[in-house]
Amino acid sequence: MKKYLLILVLSSLLISQEQDLRKKIVIYKDSFSVIKEPLSLSLRAGLNPITFSNLSQNVIDNSLFLDLQGATILSQNISHNRFGIHQFMKKNIGASIELKPQSGSSIQGLLLDYNDKEIVLKTSKGLSIFYKNNLEYISLKSSEVSDKFSPEIEWVIQSDFDQNTNAEVHYISSDFSWNAIYNLIIDSSQDSSATKAELTINAEITNNSNMNLFNVDLSVIEGTIPFNSQSNISNTLSRIATKIEDAVKIGDYYSFTLGNDINLKSLETNLYPLLAKRVINYDKRYIFRNNERDQKDEPLNVEILFQNSDENNLNIPLPSGTINLFEKSQDGSINMLSKNIFQASHKGSLSIISAGKSFDINGKRRILNYDRQNNSEESTISLQVINSSGQSIKVKLEEKIFGDWVVKESSSMYIKEDANTIYFPLEIKPNSSETVTYSYRKEWK
């Protein structure tokens, strides 16, 4: 049987996108995107079959439509290849393969595994793992090489006269995703209740598609678009397009434009600035959280807080994402403190970032007295915080009490946060400690 040679040139895996100067992609948090691609059509009078194959492999079929004026679309047909390049290579596990690193000579062996990042071969030297980004090409002999590895759409268009016209292909794909990446650098060299921090926000864009995209007009959306069923996708696409144009005015979603000259290579992840770098004020506090029956000794949790307000150089919609917390020491070095999920922050809200547990700030909780009767109970609690650091600190002693309760006595001012929570705000001087005692009473029928 005649063999065909499949060669993958990894520097340009699939379709060239040089003609896509004004392709528009809008990426949503639900790992799907709306793609709009302009086309220049030369139509003759009569019937015109038009074929278009520059599609993502994970295009949602019934989201595809052609925005065309001045002619009539008589039919639309989508054909899918049996398998993509990834599935093809998986099917040929055990086959003889040759690959060429970017530096060095070509290597031959048996294909053991193929994934998004790596190729595993059995060679004369044993097991070898190669990163795809470091390869020039892969060569595989097979009798089942497909003519194409991407979907193809064909329209039959009727035109009343010869004309050159512009159209735009719209479709939804699940091959693109984005996430907001925050870097917050706090300055520990300042000893004040509201210190300075530098906040940078980037958009992490991942292209999991089979397409290399160049000169793309790229936007990202913070918000959730519901898909009730596959049959409603075309109507949903129209509503999405409306909201993109007027997102801030409608208020349901926020659109962030990353640029109109963005390059998105296949199987790559890139960072682009989402919002301009800002210097903001932050607060740092230590939290000692307990339930009513707890008795424990442990280091306090550390939290970093900042207001999303005009006064704090913000007052902007901050999308959900990941936040990396760093600290700038007095010697100028920057060290990482934590990595956390960042909850979306609307204008005027307070953001709270966990920074782990403190080594020098410790809490002790003791139940000094507990008296339970048939229809009531009373308890006396002691809370002590020991500050072994050389700085003044803000502390929040948070207590959970459940049921029908009332605080009878307290050695310190407290705030009732909700039906089950009170807390004691404290400021503790360097190398000192504070103790709070309080009693509560519960009653029931």
Residue 138 has a pLDDT of: 84
Residue 142 has a pLDDT of: 64
Digits of tens for pLDDT over the chain (445 positions)? 444 454 444 433 333 333 444 789 999 887 788 899 898 899 999 999 988 877 777 788 788 889 999 999 999 988 765 445 666 777 788 888 888 888 888 888 998 888 767 888 988 888 888 887 788 888 877 655 554 556 788 899 999 999 999 999 998 888 899 999 999 999 876 554 558 999 999 999 999 887 888 889 999 988 766 554 444 444 444 444 433 333 343 346 788 889 888 998 888 899 999 988 999 999 999 999 999 999 999 999 999 999 999 999 998 889 999 999 998 887 778 889 899 999 999 889 999 999 999 999 999 999 999 999 989 999 999 999 999 998 899 999 999 999 999 999 999 999 999 999 999 999 999 999 999 999 999 998 8
d(CA 65, CA 36): 10
- 265: burial class by Cβ within 10 Å (0-12, 13-18, 19+)? middle
Buried b (16+ CB within 10 A) or exposed e, 18-40: eebeebbbbbbbeebbbbbbebe
Its domain, for residue 106, covers: 85-142
- Residue 148 domain-assigned (yes or no): no
d(CA 421, CA 241): 45
The domain tally of the chain equals: 1
Residues 369, 378 contacting (CB under 8 angstroms): yes
d(CA 185, CA 263): 29
Residue 276: name the closest of 306, 256, 251, 260 by CA. Answer: 256
Residue 130 has a pLDDT of: 87
Residue 135, domain CATH: 2.30.30.100
- 169: burial class by Cβ within 10 Å (0-12, 13-18, 19+)? buried
Residue 190 has a pLDDT of: 58
- Residue 445 domain-assigned (yes or no): no
- Residue 420 domain-assigned (yes or no): no
- Residue 390 domain-assigned (yes or no): no
- Residue 257 domain-assigned (yes or no): no
Q: Which helix (H) or strand (E) element contains residue 245?
A: helix 233-245
- Residue 201 domain-assigned (yes or no): no
Give me 19's structure tokens. Answer: 């003609």
